[in-house]
Amino acid sequence: MKLLRDPLGRPIPRPYFDIDELDRECERIVTNFMERYSAGFRLPVPTDDIIRMIEMEADDLDMYADLPEELDGYTDFFFERKPRVRIAKRLSDPRYENRLRMTLSHEFGHVRFHAPLWRDGRLERDRRPAEPCWTCNRDTIVTAPENDWMEWQAAYIGGALLMPRQPVRRLTREIGVREAGEPAVGADSDLGQAAILRVRKGCHVSQQAARVRLVKLGLLSQT
């Protein structure tokens, strides 16, 4: 990891991770947590484990916050204490379980990787919470523009926690999505759709999340 200047002017350094580093670290975090607290790693990663991961690193987690319709969750960062996470109450409806899981994993990315930057001892502390609050809504919980590195990293981390690289490769290898040295098949092909379905069911995520993850891992191509 490298620390760079924040291009958007926030008073924190920008941690630069290459993709391989992010995948390794996310897999290590979720595997170690489940081996210690959840009788071993398995798929799908239980929603309750993601909640506990946030609770262990945040000052407060509200799972039933009254948020606007377009807002699924957000994290408040503070100079003097751990972050505060708010998740929209409507996501507790079983119909939104996949969205809840991805929102929680996204916010864990902020809590684990970004909140410590605000508590860095080199920052001038004025006892006020950091502003603005960074949010994840329907457009950014799975994908986010790369020019906002905090949201892009949190979106990638969310996918990497629920769909760790090595287990996902094993899932797709079973149906021959890609042999060594061969180009990835298209996400819209029959084989690509079969891989997306396998990951969607095996990891308990949405079709969009499974598709994005497989493309980012290079196991499928966009077309």
Q: Would you say 162 and 205 are in contact if contact means Cβ atoms under 8 Å apart?
A: yes
Claim to verify: residue 130 and residue 203 sit in the same structural domain: no
pLDDT digits (tens, 9 = 90+) for 79-130: 778 889 999 999 999 999 999 999 999 999 999 998 887 776 455 555 455 4
Of 162, 180, 195, the position where a domain reaches its end is: 162
Claim to verify: residue 157 and residue 216 sit in the same structural domain: no
Token code pair at residue 99:
């969205």
Claim to verify: residue 148 and residue 189 sit in the same structural domain: no
Cα Dmax for the chain:
56
Q: Print the domain residue range for 127.
A: 2-162
Token code pair at residue 24:
């390794």
Claim to verify: residue 88 and residue 154 sit in the same structural domain: yes
Claim to verify: residue 34 and residue 119 sit in the same structural domain: yes
pLDDT digits (tens, 9 = 90+) for 44-93: 999 999 999 999 999 999 999 999 988 899 988 887 788 899 999 999 99
Q: DSSP for the chain?
A: -EEEE-TT--SSEEEE--HHHHHHHHHHHHHHHHHHHSSS--SSPPHHHHHHHHHHHSSEEEEEE---TTEEEEEE-BSSS--EEEEEGGGGSGGGHHHHHHHHHHHHHIIIIIHHHHT-TTSPP-SSBPSS-EEEETTTSS---TTSHHHHHHHHHHHHHHS-HHHHHHHHHTTTS--TTSPPEETTSHHHHHHHHHHHHHHT--HHHHHHHHHHTTSEE--
pLDDT digits (tens, 9 = 90+) for 117-169: 777 645 555 545 545 444 555 555 555 556 677 888 899 999 999 999 999 99
pLDDT band at 18 (very low <50, low <70, confident <90, very high): confident
Claim to verify: residue 143 and residue 206 sit in the same structural domain: no
Total of domains in the chain: 2
Claim to verify: residue 58 and residue 7 sit in the same structural domain: yes
Which residue in this structure is represented by tokens 């991805």? 102
Q: C-alpha distances in angstroms, 101 versus 72, 87, 117, 188?
A: 11, 11, 25, 25
Claim to verify: residue 131 and residue 176 sit in the same structural domain: no
Claim to verify: residue 100 and residue 202 sit in the same structural domain: no
Taking the whole predicted model, whether its pTM rises above 0.95 is answered as: no
Claim to verify: residue 208 and residue 130 sit in the same structural domain: no
Claim to verify: residue 217 and residue 110 sit in the same structural domain: no
Q: C-alpha distances in angstroms, 176 versus 128, 154, 199, 201, 216?
A: 53, 30, 13, 17, 18
Claim to verify: residue 71 and residue 153 sit in the same structural domain: yes
Compute CA 13 distance to the chain's CA centroid, rounded to the nearest angstrom: 20
Pairing of strands 220-221, 185-186: parallel
